[in-house]
Amino acid sequence: MQTLETMLRASLWAATLTPDELDRVVRESHERRIPVGGSAIRCGAPADQWIGVIEGLVKMSVSQRDGRLSTFTGVTAGGWAGEGSLLRPGIWRYDGVAVRDTRIACVPRHTFERLVSTSLPFNRFLLSHINARLSLFIGLVEFDRLLGPDARVARCLASLFDPDLYPQAGSYVQLSQEEIGLLSSVSRQRTNQALHTLERAGLLRVEFGGVIVLDLPALRAYSGVAPPRGGCDVKTPLPGERGRAL
């Protein structure tokens, strides 16, 4: 089992700090254990810590008063979240909920702010990290507006292998079909169909409790449309799939 200190020292941003500063961050940070359905981040609460996932999965989402829920992304082991909210005083504007039993590293706001104020290399890391997060969210808008469910599941899975956001990702992702559906805004039943479509295409292999990615570039580019014949640029939807326009 990975410890809090091991996770902190293995994080990408740790390499931007001096040994003394990294030791200080380790001393000031703490670990929280969150059960399934528990809150790592609660909308409306003070944004007072930078969180990293040691083990488990945290789903970032917003909910409406009528019960509707919109999920942005999931943060897997090795990933960090909350930096945007810590760059200015205020509250969390979204919820972070544990999808399974989860352990998180918590770096206090004052520690994070000290790093921002004193370390140019850390700021360079943050710039790259926030840019990767922005690219992810732009992609999510594209997925939701332009792609069918098979492609949304494919792109959602591919987004969990971004080395700038999830440096510990290998070829295997431990997610149930229900969890994949939550992250891609697709029903569990339709997620099952999408996974088998992607498996038949040779992009992944469905395992008990997770998915092995076989062709990450193709998974990132998957659009759910048949390739055109004779070099025509017109894309034809697959049977039974409905495209959505902006």
Residue 188 CA to residue 143 CA, distance in Å, equals 18
Q: pLDDT tens digits for 206-245?
A: 988 788 899 988 988 888 754 444 443 333 343 444 333 3
Note the pLDDT tens digit of each residue in 78-100. Answer: 899 999 899 988 899 889 999 88
Q: Which pLDDT score, from 0 to 100, does residue 203 have?
A: 92
Structural domains for the chain: 4-137 (2.60.120.10), 147-237 (1.10.10.10)
Residue 61 confidence (pLDDT): 81
d(CA 126, CA 52): 14
The beta strands (E) that lie in the chain are given as: 30-34, 39-41, 49-55, 57-63, 69-76, 80-81, 95-98, 102-108, 172-173, 204-207, 210-213, 225-226, 236-237
pTM over 0.95: no
N residues, the chain = 246
Nearest-CA neighbor of 223 among 233, 210, 206, 236? Answer: 236
Q: Which residue has the higher pLDDT, 35 or 168?
A: 35
Residue pLDDT, tens place only, 149-186: 898 888 888 888 777 787 766 778 777 888 788 777 78
pLDDT given at position 57: 87
178 phi and psi angles, rounded to 5 deg: -65, -40
pLDDT of residue 143: 63
Predicted local confidence at residue 237, as pLDDT: 41
Whose structure tokens read 């959602």? 156
Report the alpha-carbon distance of residue 42 to residue 9 in Å, rounded: 27
Average pLDDT, the chain: 83
Q: pLDDT over 90 for what percent of the chain?
A: 43
CA gap 72, 70 in Å, rounded: 7
HSE, side-chain direction, 13 A CA sphere, residue 129: 19
| pLDDT in the model for residue 183 | 76
Residue 24 burial (C-beta neighbours within 10 Å; 0-12, 13-18, 19+) = middle
Amino acid letter for position 98:
A
* Residue 152 amino acid letter: R
Other CB atoms within 10 Å distance of the CB of residue 26: 17
Residue 92 identity: W
Q: In what order do the strands lie in the sheet with 30-34?
A: 30-34, 102-108, 49-55, 80-81
